[in-house]
Structure 1
C-alpha cells in the first residue's frame, strides 16, 4: 500500500494509505471520482479512525484517579491535569484533531464529486453519509476544543474552523467560526443527511445508517437542549427496546478475554457505529498511572450505587497487584506490515454510537419535557438490564427513591437551562448511569462540560488540581500544527 499526501492546512501535510488513491495526485492529475463505487470507497475514510479521543477524554473526567504506578506516559499526566499534550503521536489530542480533519477532507471530496456528477438522486445515500460524517467530526472537534454550548454566549465563543470544501492549495489559512456558527453548520449537515442516508452497506456498522444517524442526532440535540428534537429522532426506539440494549447478563458471563473481543464487534446488536481506530488505548490499563483507580471504581460501580441495593452486572479486572482496574472493552489487533522485522500498526475496535446511549438520551429528554412517569418506567427498565438478580415485580423505581438517591446539591449541575428539583435528581441519575455504562469511553466528559461539573484530581504527594466551573481548560488548547498556521489559540 503506497503512501500519499493530502494538503490540509489544519494538519499541514498528512500521510494516508492506499484507500485514498483518488487523492494521491495534484488536482489536475487525480483519478476521476465519477462512480458510486468510487465515492463509497472514499467515504470509508470519512470517519476519524486515525486515532481515538477516548484516552484523553476519559482521563480528564472524575472517573480517573491516581493509581500510584511508579511511572506513566507524559500524555497521561498531561491529560489528567488538563494540559496540552506535547506529543502528536498515537492517541494524543493533536492526533485526534488531525484524524477528524482528515475524515472531513474525505467527506468534502465525496460531496464535491457528487456535485460534479449533477447531484443525481441515485447518489443520495452517499451524499447523506458524507454530510453526516462531516457533521460528526466537526461536532467532536467543537466538543473538545471549544467551551460548552451556551446559546447566550455561542455567537461570541470561539468554535473551530468548519471546513466545507476540499483543499485545492498546499497551504490555506483558516479562521475559527464561532460556536454558534459551528452548531448551525452541524445542524444543517445533520438534518440534510438524515433525509438522505440509507442502510444499504455490506458492513453497515462501519457507516452511518439511519439508526446511527438518529443516535448521533440525539446526542447533538441533547447538548443544544432541544428536547423535542431528541424525542423526534428517538421515537423509533419505542418503550423498553428489548434486544437493542447490551445484554450484560450474557456479556459478563463470558471469559474476560472473550469480552475484550465481543464489546466492539459489528454483530453486537447494541452497537450502531464502530471503527477500527489506529490506537493503543487497549494498553492503557497497564501503562497509565492515572486511570480507573480501585477506590474510585467502588464509588461508580459498587453495590452502594445501585438504587435497588443489589450488585451491578458490570465487572472490572486488574493486572496482578495494580491499584487500577478496568472493564474488558478494548481489544488491540496488530497488523504486521513487515512480518520479518516484526513491524506493524496497532488497531483497536471502538464503539462511537450505541443504542444504550441513544436510549438514555431519550429518557433524559422525557425528563426535561416533564414526562416523569414515562422516564421513570424507561429508567427502571434500563437499570434492570444492568442489575444482578433484578426482579421486575419487587425492584421498582419511584420518584421518591430517585430524589433520595440523587439529591439536589446547590450549584452542582449548572447547565445553561433551568431544571426543577425533580428534573435535577432524574438528570443526575441518568448522568451517573451514563457514567457507569461508558466507563473508559470518554462519554463522561460530555456531561462534565454541559453540566459544568467541578472535577477534582488528586495526585499522591502533590497538591490537588481542581477544574472549576467555566475553567478555560475545559476547552483543549489548539494543537501547535494548527496554531502555528494562524488558527487562534484558546485563552489560558
Structure 2
C-alpha cells in the first residue's frame, strides 16, 4: 500500500538522530494532498500505534515474578520489573510506544483536517468517526501510561500529556503537557464526536475502529472515569449471556499448538473487536524474560484458590521454557522481509486491543457499582461457566454470600477515587481477578493496579523485595528522555 507522506509530530521528529538534517529541513506542508476519500482512508490505516505496550506493562504487574533464571537477565526487562525509566528506546519500550502513538495521532489529525476542508461530506462520515476515535484512543493510552491515575479531585493539577488537536504546520513547535482533566475532557469530546459517525463498511473491519470496537473503547474510558451509565450504554450489544461472542477456550484446547498460537488474534474470532499489527518482539521475549509469569507463580494466578467454585480454570494450554517462563499461546510473530535475499526484515506481532471479554467485564463492573447485584450475578455466572473446568449449572451458582466469602474485604486494599461499600469491594475484587486471568500477558492488569491503587510487591533473588506503594510516583512512567530534552516537563520523582 502506498504511504502518504506526512509531517510527524514534533515529539517524534526531535527524537530522531542528527543524521536526519535533510528531512528536518523540508517544508512542513510538502505532503500529498488529501483530497479524495481513497487518500483519506489510506492515511487512516496509519492512525493506530504500530507499537505494543503489552511487554513493559505486563512486567510491571503482580503477574510478573523472578524466575531466578539469572542468565536471562536483560536491562530492559529488569528496569520494567523495578518500575524504572527504561534506557532502551527500541521495540516494546515506553519510549517506542510514545512515539508510535503520536505518529498515529498525527495521521488522525491529517484525516480530520482533510475531511473538514472538503466540507465534512456525508460520504466521509465513517472516516471522520474513525479518525476521532483513533485520536482519542492513542491519547488515552498515553495518559494511562505516562500520568498518574485519573482522580477528579486532583485531575485539574495532575500532569497529563500533550493533547494534539491539529496537524503541525511548523517544525519547531513547543508543546506543553495538558492536565489530566484537560486530556480526559478532550478524549471524551473526541469519543462523543466519533461515535456519531463511525461505521462498519470496511474490507477488514476488525483492523479499524468499527462501531463495536469504538463502543468497547468508550466503555473502557467511562469505566476509568466512573461513569457507570455510559459504560452500560456502550456495552448494550452484549446480553447477560453473550453466547458465541466470547472466546471459546474449550474449542481452543482441541486444536494443535500452532493453530492455538495463530488463532488468538485472528480477525475471524467473534470476540476480537480491534486488532492491530505492531512492531514487536514480544513473541520472543515472553519466552525468555527472566521477570515474567514463572512456573513457581503460575498457581498464584491460575490455581483453584482463585476460582469461585474451587475448580480448575479453563485456559488454553500453557507453554514453557523448562517451566521457567510460562506463557499462554496468544502471540505469534510475522517477520516481514524488506530484503528477502539478504534475510533482512522487521518482526510484527498482532495485538488484540479490544475484545468482547473486556466489554463484558466492564459491563459487569458497572452493574456492581450501580448496586445491581442480581444482574451482576447472572453475568458473572455466565463468565465463570465458560472459564471453569467441570462447571455445573445446577450447583455452581454465583451468590453474594459466595463472593463475599471468596473475596473478603481487606482494609485499604482496593482504593479507587470513588467509595466502595463492603459488598461492592468483594465483587470488584472478583471481577478484577477475572480480568487478571483473562488478559494475562496483555498488560491490562497494570491499568487495574493503577485505577484501584493496588500495592504490589516484586521479589528479586538474593535482594530485598521492592514494593510499589499506593500513590507511588513510579506509577506514572517517566516521559521519554528525547521528549523531555525538547522542554516537555518530566514527571515528579
Q: TM-score range by the shorter chain?
A: over 0.9
How has the CA–CA distance of structure 1 residues 121 and 60 changed in structure 2, closer, same or farther, with 3 Å as cutoff?
Answer: same
Per-residue deviation, 1:287: 2.1
Give the structure 2 partner of residue 350 of structure 1. Answer: 351
What is the correspondence of 1:233-312 to structure 2 with a 5 Å cutoff?
A: 233-312=234-313
Encode CA deviations 1:247-295: one digit per residue, 9 max, x unaligned.
Answer: 1110122222211100000001010000111111011232210010122
Partner of 1:21: none
Tell me how far apart the structure 2 counterparts of residues 2 and 339 of structure 1 sit (CA, whole Å). 21
Alpha-carbon contact 1:5-1:13 (below 8 Å) kept? no
CA separation of 1:28 and 1:191: change in aligned 2, threshold 3 A = closer
**Match status 1:72 vs 2:73:** yes
| Larger CA deviation: 433-442 vs 120-129 | 120-129
Distance 1:447 1:400 in 2: 24
Find out whether 1:136 has 2:137 as its counterpart: yes
Q: Equivalent residue of 2:345, what SS?
A: strand
Q: Does 1:466 align with 2:487?
A: no
Q: C-alpha displacement at 1:118, in angstroms?
A: 1.1
Correspondence 1:210-221 to 2 at 5 A: 210-221=211-222
Query: Is 2:56 aligned against 1:59?
Result: no
Native 8 Å contact 1:7 1:14 kept in 2:
no
Moved more, 471-480 or 236-245: 236-245
Post-superposition Cα deviations, 1:316-350, rounded to whole Å, max 9, x if no partner, equal 53444242211110000101111221110000011
Of 424-433 and 385-394, deviating more is: 385-394
For residues 475-486 of structure 1, the aligned pairs below 5 Å read: 475-486=476-487
- After superposition, the Cα gap between the structure-2 partners of 1:206 and 1:7, relative to the gap in structure 1 and judged at 3 Å, is closer
Deviations 1:153-184 (A, max 9, x none): 00000000000111111221100000000000
By how many angstroms is 1:305 displaced? 1.6
Equivalent residue of 2:351, what SS?
Answer: strand
| Cα distance in structure 2, aligned partners of 1:152 and 1:319 | 45
Name the structure 2 match of 1:188. 189
Q: Determine the structure 1 residue equivalent to 2:166.
A: 165
Q: Aligned equivalents of 2:6 and 2:233: distance in 1? A: 42
Alignment of 1:221-236 (within 5 A): 221-236=222-237
Q: Secondary structure at the match of 2:327?
A: coil
Of stretches 433-442 and 29-38 in structure 1, the one that deviates more from structure 2 is 29-38
Match of 1:365 in 2: 366
Alpha-carbon contact 1:9-1:485 (below 8 Å) kept: no
Answer whether contact 1:215 1:353 (CA < 8 A) is retained: yes
- Contact 1:62-1:456 within 8 A present in 2 as well: yes
TM-score normalised by the chain length of structure 1: 0.96
CA distance in 2, matches of 1:430, 1:157: 28
CA RMSD of aligned residues (A): 1.7
Rounded to whole Å, the distance in 2 between the matches of 1:228 and 1:113 is 34
Q: What TM-score, normalized by structure 2, do the two folds share?
A: 0.95
Number of matched pairs: 484
